[in-house]
Amino acid sequence: MTMLLHLDSSANRSDESVTRRLTALFADRWRSIHGSTEYRYRDLAADPVPPIDTAYCQLGRRSEREGVVPLDLVGALIENDAEADAWALTEPLINEVIASSTILIGAPLYNFSLPAALKTWIDRITFPGALALGDTEVVVITSRGGAYGPGTPREGWDYEVPYLRAYFTNYGVRDDNIRFITAELSLAGLVPHLAHLRGLAERSLAEAVSCVAAGQYAAAQG
């Protein structure tokens, strides 16, 4: 089955959000090819996933002690209402991920890492033994206020792209099936001391738009 799971995590829900504009462009292109019947959207900032709690952890540990229980049997391990509530929040999110052929993630770089809303979603879906993503394609669209590429003063300070690559490949996504499209220097148009970099910022955004529109995702890998 072909299904796109589209996730936005930018705290800025206005049209100023670079990642939201780019993920919307990707989703529109995808639906023009595949149709909209198998498309699901989650705004992790507007409708945040609750953080995992004691009940989630206890249910997960119980599953691990049993040698990791298949998803459809986890319910039999539930011992109280809190665990039932935790699983009711978790299972639909996991099933959504497993059912997706493509996962599209909008993830601006916040404080050198990923948005808390995205990390909370990741924590929730990572229930013991739940994920085996295999042939799933993951497309991550990132934006950065500054520049973090080779030769820049902040080279190596981006902990978002390496984290997301490690996370998804750990759960079965092939390294050549996770792709990153990055727009850098998004603050150049706003911050006076970055004004001299506006041309580079415009070029970076134009390249990202071109990659999304043309489907050339591999050309912009991070």
Q: Report the CATH number that the domain containing residue 152 is assigned in CATH.
A: 3.40.50.360
Q: Does the pLDDT of residue 219 top 60, yes or no?
A: no
What digits encode the pLDDT tens for the residues 25-50?
999 999 988 886 799 999 999 999 99
Does the annotation flag 144 for ligand binding?
A: yes
CA 154 to chain centre: 23
**Whole-angstrom Cα distance, residue 143 to residue 204?**
10
Query: In sequence order, what DSSP letters do the residues of 129-167 get, joined into one string?
Result: T----TT-EEEEEEE-SS--STTSTTTT---HHHHHHHH
Look at residue 220 in the predicted model and tell me its pLDDT. 35
**Whole-angstrom Cα distance, residue 27 to residue 59?**
35
pTM higher than the cut 0.85: yes
| Alpha-carbon dihedral angle through residues 30, 36, 37, 39, given to the nearest 10 degrees | 60
Does the annotation flag 146 for ligand binding?
A: yes
N-term to C-term CA, the chain: 28
Q: Which domain holds residue 140?
A: 4-220
Q: What letter would DSSP give residue 195?
A: G
Q: Are 25 and 212 in contact (CB under 8 A)?
A: yes
Number of domains in the chain: 1
Look at residue 191 in the predicted model and tell me its pLDDT. 79
The strand ranges marked E within the chain are 4-8, 39-43, 102-106, 137-143, 178-183
What digits encode the pLDDT tens for the residues 106-118?
999 999 999 999 9
Does the annotation flag 10 for ligand binding?
A: yes
Q: Does the pLDDT of residue 218 top 70, yes or no?
A: no
**Whole-angstrom Cα distance, residue 118 to residue 87?**
19
Q: Are 97 and 37 in contact (CB under 8 A)?
A: no
